[in-house]
Structure 1
Amino acid sequence: MRTPGIFIFGMVLAPCGWILELTSTVAPGWRTINNIPGESSDLVLQQGLWDICRTFTSSRDILCNQQDTQYFSAQIIQIARGLMLASLILNVIAIGVASAGVRCWTDTPQWTVAGIGGLLIFISGVLTIIPVAWYTHIMTSIFSTSTDIRVGYCLVLGFIGGIMEVLGGLVMSIGLCRRCDGRKRDQRPRTNAVKSARDPSPPHRVIVPSVISVSSASSASSVPYYSKQSEMDFTRAKTQQDRPVNTAYKAQPYDSDL
C-alpha cells in the first residue's frame, strides 16, 4: 500500500531535526564572547553546554576543553543538558515506534502506532525548544567577563531542529484522529446490521397498474373511443371524396403535341 503523505512528512522531518539537535547539543557554540578584557582583540570565546573553545580570527587556531567553573555551574546549563539529552533519546525511540506503524509493506498502516510515534516526536521537539528559548532569554545574565555577547549558531540549529520535530510529530499525530474516525465508521454498519437482523422490516408492497386493452375499455365505457389513426384516415378519405371535379374542362391538343 502507498504510505500516507502525513507519515512521509513526519518521517522526513524527525531525523533531520534529530541531527540538528545533536549538533546543537555537542557543539560549543551557544554563545560567543568578543572583546574580552586583558585578552587579544582577535580572541573569540565560544561557550556551549559541554565545552568551551578559544578561537583566534587572525590565525584561526582553536583551543577547546577550556574550564570555566562559574559558567558551567549556572542553573540553565544543568537544565539544558538534561532536556537536550532527554530530547535526543526520546526522538530515537519515537522514530522507532513510528517506523513500526508506518510500514509500507503491509496492506494498511497501523494508524494508532504511527500516531503514538508522532506524539513522542512532538514532545521531543518541545523538550528542545524549552532550553534553547530559555538560554536565549537569559544569555546576557549568565556569568561572562565581557559585555559583548552574541548568539551562537547552536541556538539557531536548536530552534530549527525543535520546530521541525514539532511540525513532523504534530502532523503524524493526526493518525490517532484518523483511527478514531475509522472505528466509528466500522461500528456504524455493524450496529445497523444487528438492528435489522433483530427487527426485520416488512417487505414493501409494490402496486403494479393493470393494463386494460382498448377493446375492453371501449366496451365498458358509454363514450365511443376514437383513436388518432382512425380519425386521420377518416379525414383523408373525406377530403378525397369531396374534391370538386371540373367537367367543363376538356383537354385540347397543342401544337407542340402535334
Structure 2
Amino acid sequence: MPLPSTQEWIRMSQRTPGILIFGMVLAPCGWVLDLTATVAPNWRTLHAVDGRPTDQIIQQGIFDICLATSTSTDQNCDEEDQIYFDNELIGIAQGLMVASLVVTLIGLAVAIPGVRCWKESPNWVVAGLGGILIFISGVLTIIPISWYTHILTELATAVTTTDVRVGYCIVLGYIGGIFEILGGFVMFIGICRCCGGKNRGERRVDEVLPPQRSPPPPSLNRIRTPTPSVPYSKDSLDDDVSFPRAKTPPTRGPQINHSFNGRPYDADL
C-alpha cells in the first residue's frame, strides 16, 4: 500500500508575513517604553511628606530619586535615600530591567536575519527563536513591575508620608512588557504551520493549482479503413449502383438483321 505523499505548500505573496511584521513593530516599541521606565525616576511619588513644604513631591525610581514641586517644572535629582535602595526589590528590579533591555536587543538581532523579507521565504526557525527571546524579555519586565506595584506602599524609605501614588514608569513598564510578550509570542507561532497555513501566508499546492484531468479511456470502436483519397473511377461507379439505369437510346442508321442465315440474292445486293 503506497504511503500518502507529503503536502506541498506555496507562498501566495513575496510580502513579509503579517505575524513577523507585527512582532518586529511591537518589540522595538516595547523596548523604548521599557528603557524609559528603567531610567526615569518615577516608579512612585510621595506627597505630603512630613517636615517638607506641601507642594514638594518626591519621585522615586530604581536608579535615582528626584525632588519636584507642583508649582514648577524644576527637578533636583541624585537625592540620597539609602533605606529605600536597601529594599530587596530595588536590586532585583535593577537587574531584571537591564536584562530585559539586553535580551530584547539580542532577540531583534536574531529575528532580523530570520525575517529577511528580501528573499523568497523567511527562515521560520530563526525568526521563531528571536520571538522567544523577545517574549522572555517582556516577562523579565512584567515581573519587577508587578512586584513593585504589589508592595508599593510597603517599601521602606527615609521619609514619612501617608500619600503614596503610582508613577508613570509603572504604566510605561506594563505597556512595554505586554508589547514584547505579544510580539514575541506571535513571531513564535510561525515555527509551526497552523490555521491552514494562513499564519505563514501559504496555501496547499493542490488548492491553488487546478486539478489534473485523467487521460480519456481508449476507444472501443472498431477500426475503420481510411477513405481513399483517389476519386472513384467511372467503371467502379458503373458496377455499384443502387437504382435502375436508363436504357441507352438506339443509334440512328440502317439496322442489320444479324439473325438471317440464308444466302444472299442478287436483288439484295
**In structure 2, distance between residues paired with 1:162 and 1:62:** 28
Q: Work out which of the residue numbers 163, 170, 195 in structure 2 matches 1:148.
A: 163
**In structure 1, distance between residues paired with 2:130 and 2:223:** 73
Fraction of identical pairs, as percent: 58
Q: Work out which of the residue numbers 184, 189, 209 in structure 2 matches 1:169.
A: 184
What secondary structure is seen at the aligned counterpart in 1 of 2:96? helix
Q: CA deviation at 1:211?
A: 5.3
Q: Work out which of the residue numbers 47, 62, 71 in structure 1 matches 2:60.
A: 47
Task: Give the aligned residue type for 2:18.
Answer: G
Q: Work out which of the residue numbers 25, 28, 37 in structure 2 matches 1:24.
A: 37
Q: CA deviation at 1:111?
A: 0.6
**In structure 1, distance between residues paired with 2:191 and 2:218:** 51
Q: Deviations over 1:224-255 (max 9, x none)?
A: xxxxxxxxxxxxxxxxxxxxxxxxxxxxxxxx
Task: Give the aligned residue type for 1:146.
Answer: T
Residue 201 of structure 1 aligns with which residue? none
Moved segments of 4+, more than 3 Å: 206-213
Contact 1:17 1:164 in 2 (8 A): yes
Contact 1:128 1:162 in 2 (8 A): yes
Q: Deviations over 1:84-139 (max 9, x none)?
A: 01100000000011101011111211111001101110010011001000000001
What secondary structure is seen at the aligned counterpart in 2 of 1:65? coil
Q: CA deviation at 1:81?
A: 0.5
Q: Work out which of the residue numbers 85, 101, 110 in structure 1 matches 2:114.
A: 101
**In structure 2, distance between residues paired with 1:178 and 1:70:** 53
Q: Work out which of the residue numbers 157, 177, 181 in structure 1 matches 2:172.
A: 157
Q: Return 5+ residue gaps in structure 1 as ranges.
A: 183-205, 214-258
Q: Work out which of the residue numbers 74, 78, 88 in structure 2 matches 1:61.
A: 74
**In structure 2, distance between residues paired with 1:207 and 1:178:** 43
Q: If the length of structure 1 is used for normalisation, what is the TM-score?
A: 0.70
Task: Give the aligned residue type for 1:46.
Answer: Q
Q: CA deviation at 1:60?
A: 3.0
Counterparts of residues 239-254 of structure 1 (less than 5 Å): none
Residue 78 of structure 1 aligns with which residue? 91
Q: CA deviation at 1:212?
A: 10
**In structure 2, distance between residues paired with 1:5 and 1:17:** 18
Counterparts of residues 212-227 of structure 1 (less than 5 Å): none
**In structure 2, distance between residues paired with 1:16 and 1:60:** 27
Deviates more, 1:100-109 or 1:170-179: 170-179
Task: Give the aligned residue type for 1:72.
Answer: F
Q: If the length of structure 2 is used for normalisation, what is the TM-score?
A: 0.67
Contact 1:111 1:178 in 2 (8 A): no
Q: CA deviation at 1:61?
A: 2.3
RMSD over aligned Cα atoms: 2.3
Q: Return 5+ residue gaps in structure 2 as ranges.
A: 1-13, 198-216, 225-269
Q: CA deviation at 1:62?
A: 0.8
Q: Deviations over 1:177-230 (max 9, x none)?
A: 139x99xxxxxxxxxxxxxxxxxxxxxxx67544599xxxxxxxxxxxxxxxxx
**In structure 2, distance between residues paired with 1:208 and 1:25:** 82
What secondary structure is seen at the aligned counterpart in 1 of 2:193? helix
